Structures are given as structure tokens and as C-alpha cells.
């Protein structure tokens, strides 16, 4: 019987039952991709992250990130959660790199705040959807759609749709059939990130599909990074935002987004450990 230890943490959390839940397998060198996929399906969280040795000398560790259905090249809350666990266990410095399938990610620790940095730019392209189609997918009116939608990718591709009010963000009711048909990335993954910004705060929600069902993610670091990439494309930087997500699900998440003068994107939040255990494999 093989045993693999893990921590349960809540990422982007400011209270014990807030944030986005995550399992971190911090010594996963003996696991293959098929086993990691099965474990992720067993946990049935948004993602599970597996920490393995990295072949790159500049990286402390390599992260393998799985949803219940597939492996992701990059995701924000598993990266921040893994950094929290590794920083504690390995007594790491305040600044280091982790390897992901999307490339090296710089990690910074400032007190309780854990931040990842993206400085390789963002892929931004107009989405082949009208405002009317977006409104139909989201169960809103055309007046609720503030600007034309864009596909943005700083590590994971998502469809970004700016809305005209915080109430419009709260009112979203997804048409599952249209969502799965029209909000699909080049990798055939439906994801839509809706947002409304007022001053230095943004209210957001992220929807994705799993096995034909539409699911809401309580806290999405990769989408926050994409929001930063969108602002870079629009020449609306430098930028600092506090992001509110997950309240509609009873899982409040609070993320920080910063884009500096060099257009480097920083996304961060706090992490709370809520449990630990062992997973058994034959």
C-alpha cells in the first residue's frame, strides 16, 4: 500500500470557511498522470495540485494541476496554495520560482499575502460573440454587457465579459446549452469570467463546464491574471484592484491584482490550512 500525504487549504480566504478549497499533495514524485487524475476525481474539488521534483535548476518544485476531468497548464489558486504549503515545510525564502506546464512562475511572500507574478504578457483576441449572444448565455439584457468579449490567456484561456453593474454580475443565470456551445476555448474548455469594476474594486464570477454541467468557481487566480492582461491590452495600467468573488456561493474569496509600470501582473491572497491526511493507493 502506497501512502501520499496532503494538506487541505482554503485559498484567497479571509475567514476559516471562505476561500477556494484545495488539496495539496506535497510529495507526489511517485504518482503518474493517470493516478493524479483519478485522485483529483476522488476529491472532486475545482483542482488538486501535486508537487513533484523539477528538472529546472531555477525552480524549487514542479506543480501538476488537475481538475476532476483534465490537467491544466496553470491555475492560480493551486499555485498560491502549493506555495503556502511549500514555504512552510521547506522554509523557503520570500521570493522563488515554481514550475508549471505553462512555464516558470515567480512567487512572492509578503507577510500573509502570497502572490504569483506573470511577466510573459497576455494573449488577447476578440471573441467571435456579439453582445446579444453574451447576454443570452448569461441570462441578462444587452444593456448589461459593457463591452465586446475577449479571449485572454496569461496561462489559462478564459472568455472575459465586462458587465455594466455589480447587480448584473449578481444576476447571471447561465444558459447551459449556449454556454457549452459558444463559450469554448481553442482547447475545447468552456470558461467565462464576468466582471464589473468600480474604482479600485472589481466584482467577478467565473463559470466553467464539467461533464455537461455548468459550475461556478469561488476564486480564480488565473482569471484575475487575465483581467490584468485585459487592462494591459486596453492601456489601462498601472493598476491595483481588490477582487471580490464567491459571495453568491457562500465562499467569499478576496484576491489582489496589481499591474506595474512594466506590465508585470501580480495576483495574490491569503491561505488558511484547514486539514491534512493521507491518501492510500494499492
| pLDDT number for residue 212 | 82
Predicted confidence (pLDDT) at residue 204 exceeds the cutoff of 90:
yes
| pLDDT number for residue 95 | 98
| pLDDT number for residue 10 | 99
User: Is 47 an active-site residue?
Assistant: yes
Question: What crossing angle do the helices spanning 221-233 and 76-90 adopt, rounded to 10°?
Answer: 120
Question: Is the peptide bond preceding residue 238 cis, with omega within 30 degrees of 0?
Answer: yes
**What's the rounded Cα separation, in Å, for the pair 205 and 198?**
15
Nearest of 145, 201, 133 to residue 169 by alpha carbon: 145
| pLDDT number for residue 211 | 81
pLDDT tens digit string along 3-38?
A: 999 999 999 999 999 999 999 999 999 999 999 999
Predicted confidence (pLDDT) at residue 187 exceeds the cutoff of 90:
no
| Domain residue limits, the chain | 2-119+269-281, 123-263
Q: Specify the fold of 123-263.
A: Diaminopimelate Epimerase; Chain A, domain 1 (3.10.310)
Predicted confidence (pLDDT) at residue 275 exceeds the cutoff of 90:
yes
| pLDDT number for residue 189 | 87
CATH for 2-119+269-281, options being 3.30.70.20, 3.10.310.10, 3.40.1190.10, 1.10.12.10: 3.10.310.10
Evaluate whether 2-119+269-281 and 123-263 have a shared fold. yes
| pLDDT number for residue 104 | 95
Confidence label for 210 from pLDDT (cuts 50, 70 and 90):
confident
Predicted confidence (pLDDT) at residue 138 exceeds the cutoff of 90:
yes
Please tell me which residue in 47, 106, 216, 261 is annotated as part of the active site.
47
Average per-residue pLDDT in the chain? 97
Amino acid at each position: 500500500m502506497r501512502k501520499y500525504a496532503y494538506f487541505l487549504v482554503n485559498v484567497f480566504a479571509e475567514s476559516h470557511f471562505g476561500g477556494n478549497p484545495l488539496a495539496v499533495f506535497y510529495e507526489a514524485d511517485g504518482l503518474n498522470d493517470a493516478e493524479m487524475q483519478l485522485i483529483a476525481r476522488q476529491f472532486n474539488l475545482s483542482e488538486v495540485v501535486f508537487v513533484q521534483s523539477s528538472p529546472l535548476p531555477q525552480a524549487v518544485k514542479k506543480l501538476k494541476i488537475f481538475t476532476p476531468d483534465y490537467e491544466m497548464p496553470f491555475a492560480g489558486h493551486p499555485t498560491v496554495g502549493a506555495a503556502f504549503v511549500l514555504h512552510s515545510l521547506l522554509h523557503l525564502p520570500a521570493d522563488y520560482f515554481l514550475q508549471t506546464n505553462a512555464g516558470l512562475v515567480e512567487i512572492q511572500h509578503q507577510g500573509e499575502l502570497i502572490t504569483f507574478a506573470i511577466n510573459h504578457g497576455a494573449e488577447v483576441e476578440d471573441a467571435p460573440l456579439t453582445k446579444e449572444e453574451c447576454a443570452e448565455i448569461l441570462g441578462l439584457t444587452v444593456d448589461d454587457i459593457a463591452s465586446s468579449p475577449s479571449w485572454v490567456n496569461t496561462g489559462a484561456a478564459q472568455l472575459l465579459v465586462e458587465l455594466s453593474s455589480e447587480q448584473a454580475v449578481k444576476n447571471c443565470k447561465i444558459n447551459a446549452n449556449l454556454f457549452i456551445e459558444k463559450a469554448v476555448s481553442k482547447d475545447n474548455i468552456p470558461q467565462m469570467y464576468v466582471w464589473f469594476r468600480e474604482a479600485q474594486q472589481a466584482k467577478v464570477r467565473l463559470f466553467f463546464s464539467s461533464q455537461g454541467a455548468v459550475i461556478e468557481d469561488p476564486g480564480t487566480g488565473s482569471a484575475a491574471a487575465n483581467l490584468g492582461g485585459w487592462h494591459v491590452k486596453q492601456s489601462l495600467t498601472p493598476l491595483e484592484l481588490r477582487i471580490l468573488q464567491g459571495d453568491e456561493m457562500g465562499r467569499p474569496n478576496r484576491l489582489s491584482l496589481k499591474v506595474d509600470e512594466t506590465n508585470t501582473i501580480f495576483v495574490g491572497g491569503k491561505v488558511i490550512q484547514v486539514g491534512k491526511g493521507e491518501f492510500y493507493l494499492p
